[in-house]
């Protein structure tokens, strides 16, 4: 993903928050990055994490190693490892996750159809899944639905 989502526009210039494209890479490489750790990274570090690819096995490994090194050097902590989902929900074009469906119904009274879900990019599906989690500040869920033409 080379572009930021519109719902992230208020923070992407400064990269004060972790953008969705980096969050996707974190889930892909199995690292949990806390916001205080992100803040300890230099602007150049953050930009590199935005730009570096994390798709092939070798890219995922290189991204993971760089991130672990940066967190250790900049924050003085060891990055937390997370299990990598072998079949992540955002890659499933047939099934709208219950959290997304529930949030869409509760917040705007719509049901997302399987055909709508299938037309979204993996990055868009990832964003909706993350924004619909109960433990997430989901103020951007409705703007994301609008941006993705689901409402």
What are the pLDDT digits (tens) for 18-30?
Answer: 999 999 999 999 9
DSSP string, 15-29: T-S--HHHHHHHHHH
pTM for this one? 0.91
* Average pLDDT of the residues of the chain: 92
Which residue blocks in the chain are alpha helix, DSSP H?
Answer: 20-29, 35-40, 43-51, 57-75, 98-108, 114-119, 122-132, 141-147
Tens digit of each residue's pLDDT (9 = 90 or more) over 37-59: 999 999 999 999 999 999 999 99
Least confident of 25-39, 107-121, 123-137: 123-137
CA separation (Å) from 95 to 57, 91, 126, 129, 138?
26, 9, 13, 12, 21
Q: Is the pLDDT of residue 1 over 60?
A: no
First to last CA, the chain: 23
Contact 33, 59 (CB under 8 A): no
Comparing 1 with 13, the larger pLDDT belongs to 13
Stretch 93-122: mean pLDDT:
95
**pLDDT at residue 123, rounded to an integer:** 95
**pLDDT at residue 136, rounded to an integer:** 58
**Euclidean distance between CA atoms 144 and 20, whole angstroms:** 11
Stretch 63-80: mean pLDDT:
96
pLDDT classification of 137: cutoffs 50, 70, 90: low
Stretch 73-83: mean pLDDT:
95
What is residue 13's DSSP assignment?
T
**pLDDT at residue 38, rounded to an integer:** 96
Q: Is the pLDDT of residue 149 over 50?
A: yes
Stretch 122-146: mean pLDDT:
87
């Amino acid at each position: 993903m080379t572009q930021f989502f519109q719902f992230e526009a208020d923070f992407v210039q400064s990269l004060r928050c972790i953008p969705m494209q980096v969050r996707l890479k974190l889930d892909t490489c199995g690292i949990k990055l806390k916001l205080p750790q992100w803040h300890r990274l230099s602007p150049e570090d953050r930009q590199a994490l935005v730009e570096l690819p994390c798709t092939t096995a070798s890219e995922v490994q290189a991204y993971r190693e760089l991130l672990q090194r940066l967190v250790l050097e900049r924050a003085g902590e060891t990055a937390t490892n997370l299990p990598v989902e072998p079949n992540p929900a955002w890659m499933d074009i047939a099934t709208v996750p219950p959290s997304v469906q529930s949030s869409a119904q509760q917040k705007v009274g719509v049901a997302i159809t399987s055909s709508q879900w299938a037309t979204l990019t993996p990055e868009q599906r990832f964003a909706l899944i993350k924004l619909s989690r109960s433990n997430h500040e989901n103020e951007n869920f409705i703007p994301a639905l609008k941006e993705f033409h689901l409402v």
